[in-house]
Homo-oligomer: A and B are copies of this chain.
Amino acid sequence: MTPKIGFVGLGRMGANMARRLKDCGLTVSAVYDLHTAAADALAAELGALACHSLTEVTAASEVIITVVTDDQAMRAIFAATGDTLLKGAEGRTFINCATVSPAVHLEVEAAAEKAGAHALEGCMASSITQARDGSLYLMLGGKPQVFESMRPVLEKLSTNMRYVGASGEAAKVKALVNMVMNSNTAALAEGLGLASSLGLDLGMIREVFSQTGAASRVLVTDGEDMQNRDHSCYFSASHAAKDSGIALALAHAAGLHLPVAVATKAQYDQMVALGLGELDKSGVAELTFPGRGPASP
């Protein structure tokens, strides 16, 4: 018997994880999004219940996978009162996949346990394609027995699972991954932008970068997009700003000064301020290439 699985937050990650589980023969019982049209459409596609309240999702599901945007949204769906996933949640397990502050995972776990439910954090260090084909790099945090009980579901989503430790620990690792990724991305955009201003062939430059100390994963994923201004969104600039912010809050609390991450976050904040926050993170190149953004001569 596979569990009835509900989804809360039907952005491209959540929706594609739901499609993946359905493809694998699991039961997607209920879907919910603040944009009710998104819930209605996905419910029709997957044969699930289109919920217009959180309480309905909990009622219709044994496992609830949440993929919301930020700390505030996480706290809202697990609120103590009003329309909340915690109402009637006894026996349910929540798998929370948003990238949020580590402390929020601890709060949610405590609230879930108080309601007789379980919580697991499932931090995803991958993007939409991997969500759709079940190859997410997934870092899990929470009680070991909760992790073990969710294996049959998690294994359909991820070919590469790593149990990191208690709740909140995976969020820390994820924040670090994204902090470094964002800095590498912003640095690459600077290198390619300067190359462009020097009149160098960007295809040649990317090839030289790939064979030297400038090589990086983001060179592969974002380099050509920066050159071609193809900023279709896989991981948005506003998410990049948020995740670097989570990491910098941890650094601040630890008394560490991380100037490259600070400069990187400022670039993504500037994108948001300029109305470019929904571009892919590769869009940071709009700030560094001559003739594109406000920083050009």
Using CB atoms and an 8 Å cutoff, list the residues of chain A in contact with chain B: 125-126, 137, 139, 160, 162, 164, 169, 172-173, 176-181, 183-188, 190-191, 193-195, 197-198, 200, 204-205, 208-209, 211-218, 221, 235, 247, 250-251, 254-264, 266-267, 288, 290, 295-297
Contact = CB atoms under 8 A, between A and B. Distances in A.
Given A125-B212, A176-B194, A260-B264, A297 B255 contact: yes
A256 B197 CA distance: 8
Contacts of A180: 187-188, 190-191, 209, 214
Contacts of A257: 288, 295
B254 A297 contact: yes
B213 A251 contact: no
Q: Is chain A's binding surface mostly helix, strand, loop or mixed? A: helix
A191 B176 contact: yes
By CB atoms of chain B within 10 A, which of A193, A204, A250, A263 has the most?
A263
Given A260-B183, A267-B259, A213 B173 contact: no
13 contacts: A173-B208, A176-B191, A177-B214, A183-B183, A184-B213, A190-B251, A190-B261, A194-B250, A197-B255, A254-B297, A255-B297, A257-B288, A259-B267
